[in-house]
Chain A
Amino acid sequence: MTTRTLAVVSAGLSNPSSTRLLADRLTTATVEALRARGDDTTVEVVELRGHARDLADALVTGFPNTELQAAIDTVVGADAVIAVTPVFSASYSGLFKTFFDVLDKDALIGTPVLLGATAGTARHSLAIEFAMRPLFAYLRALPVPTGVFAASEDWAGGGSGALSGRIDRAAGELADVVTGRPAVSRPADPFADPETSFEELLKGH
C-alpha cells in the first residue's frame, strides 16, 4: 500500500471559515477515495491566514522566512494539492494568489490539484474556471476537471446538484490521477554535484 501526501491550502480568513469547511470536506472525500483505490494518505493543512504577514514580508525581501518555507515545502513536496480560496472581487483572494506567487514557477509542474472556491452567492461560481484554472495552467499543474464551488445556499441544499455529489466526483477524479502515478519525487537538490561538467558548459562559448 502506497502512502500519499495530500497538501491542503486554505485561504479562508474567518474562523470558522466556510473555505476551510469546504477544504475539509474535499480532504475527507479524497482520503476516502484514495483508500478505496488502495492508498493511504497523510494530510498536511496550510492555513494561509497564519502566513499573511510572512507572505507580505516574502514579497518585500525576496525570501520566505522559516515558517513560510516550511509551508512551501509541504505543498511542493505533496503528491496532490487541494487549493481552496474565497472569491474576492470576482477572483481568488490576494492572500491565495500571493502564496502561489512566492512558489518557484516550476514547483508544481505535474502536480494533481483539486480546485475549490467559496462565496456568498452562486453568481461567483465560474471564478474557478476563469481565474483559478488559468493560474494552475500557468504553473503547469494538473487541475482535475471538476472544481467545487460552494455558495452560502449550498450548505443547506440537496437534490441533483448537491454539494456533496460534486465533492465526491472531484475527489474521485483527484484520486484517479494520483493512484495512476508513482509516489512523488522530491525536487532535485540544486546543490548535488552537477550532471553536466563545466567543460561541457564551456563548449560553443
Chain B
Amino acid sequence: MQFGIFTVGDVTPDPTTGRTPTEAERVKSLITIALKAEEVGLDVFAQGQHHNPPFVVSSPTTTLGYIAAKTEKLVLSTSTTLITTTDPVKIAEDFATLQHVADGRVDLMMGRGNTGPVYPWFGKDIRDGIPLAVENYQLLRRLWREDVVDWSGQFRTPLQGFTSTPRPLDGVPPFVWHGSIRSPQIAEQAAFYGDGFFHNHIFWPAEHTQRMVEFYRRRFEHYGHGSADQAIVGLGGQVFMRKNSQDAVREFRPYFDNAPVYGGGPSLEEFSTQTPLTVGSPEQVIERTLGFRDYVGDYQRQLFLIDHAGLPLKTVLEQLDILGEEVVPVLRREFAALKPAHVPDAPTHASLVAAAGGGHDSTVHAADDVTGRTVETAAQA
C-alpha cells in the first residue's frame, strides 16, 4: 500500500499570527514538504491545480519536475489535474515529459474542478463538466497510446496527423486515477477503463466515499478488469497530530475555525464526527485510518492533507515526522497483514512496464514530408 500527502497549494494567512506567506515562500514550501515526504519514508506527493488566488499551483509539472530531480523514490502525482479545462494535448505532453524527467515516478489524478469562473476563463462551460471529462480523457488516452492521432470532437479544435511528443517513457503511459466526491459518472469512467478511483475523503461524510467506492468496484468488475475487490482505490484523509490529543486539538482549533473550506460552520468536534477529519494522537490517527478499510475494502493508496488552512511550514514538517516515524510504519504493517494475496498493489511504472511485456523506446522520428526520408533512412544512405 502507498502512503503519501496531497496539497491544494493554498496561500492562507496563519490565523494565530495573521501572517500570510508570499507566493515565493509557498511555492518553495511545497518543494520542502515534498522532499521531507521522501525523507520520512512516504511514497507519494500529489499537488492540486488551480488558476486563481489564493493558490500557487497553476503549473504542476514545473514544481513536480524540480521535485523529481531532488528525489529518488517519491511518486509524483496530482490532486487533481483539471481534465475539463486543460487542453488534453498539453496534459499528454507535460506528463510524458515528466515521466522521462522522473524516470517513470509519475501518475495523475483527473478531476473536474469546482471553481466556476475557471471554466469560462479557459473557454468552457461548467455545465459541460462531465462531457468535458469524458471527451478530453478519451483524447488524452489516444494521444499517449497512438503515435499519430486523427481526432475530432465537441470541445477542442480537431487534430489531423498529430503526434504528441515526447512519447510516454518505455511506451507506457502514466497510471491514471479519477477523483470525484459524488458524481457516479466519474466512478463509471474509472471503472470502464480499469483506471484507479480516488475519493478525496475530506470535508465530506464518509458515506459519500463508501457509496462511490462501492459503485466503482461493482462497475470495475462489470467491465471485466477483475473482481470488485481488485479495483484500484485511493483515499484522502485529513489529520493533525500531537503526542497528547488535547494538545493537538488546542493547537489545530484556530486553523480549523478559520479554514477557508469549513471555517465558521460546525465545530471541530462536530466536523470530526461528520467527516474523516482526525485531530488527536498518532494512535488515534492509526485507529481511524485502519477503520477506513471497513467501508471501502482493501485499498491501494492513502494520501493525507496536512498543509492547508495557514499551518506554518515548521508545523507541517513536524506532522510529516510524526507520520513517517509513528503512523505510516504501523499502517503499512497492519494493512499488509489484512490484505488478501489476490488484491493488487497500486500500479507503478515498473509494474505497468512488466504488464506490457517490457519497455520499448517509442520515439517517433520526423519524416521529411516530401521525400519521406527519416533520420534512420538518411543514416543508412
Contacts and interface: CB of A to CB of B under 8 A. Distances in A.
Interface stretch (B79-87, B131-139, B234-242, B290-298): B131-139
A201 B192 CA distance: 11
A56 to B, nearest CB: 7
Centre residue among A62, A66, A205 by max chain B CB count within 10 A? A205
B332 interface: no
Given A63-B204, A193-B222, A204 B153 contact: yes
A205 B130 CA distance: 12
Interface residues of A, number: 18
B266 A61 contact: yes
Given A205-B135, A205-B153, A194 B184 contact: yes
Contacts of A65: 205, 266, 270, 274
Contacts of B192: 198
B94 interface: no
A202 interface: yes
Interface string B210-228: 0110110011001000000
A202 B265 contact: no
B195 interface: no
A1 interface: no
Nearest to B151: A205
A63 B205 contact: yes
A61 B211 CA distance: 19
B262 A60 contact: yes
A63 B182 CA distance: 11
B154 interface: yes
Contacts of A57: 265-266, 270
B189 interface: yes
B188 interface: yes
B138 A61 contact: no
B108 to A, nearest CB: 19
B214 A191 contact: yes
Contacts of A59: 265
A161 interface: no
Given A57-B270, A191-B212, 11 more contacts: A57-B266, A61-B203, A61-B274, A62-B203, A63-B208, A63-B274, A190-B184, A191-B215, A198-B188, A201-B185, A205-B153
Q: Which 6 A-B pairs have the closest CB atoms?
A: A60-B265, A205-B135, A198-B192, A57-B265, A191-B215, A57-B266
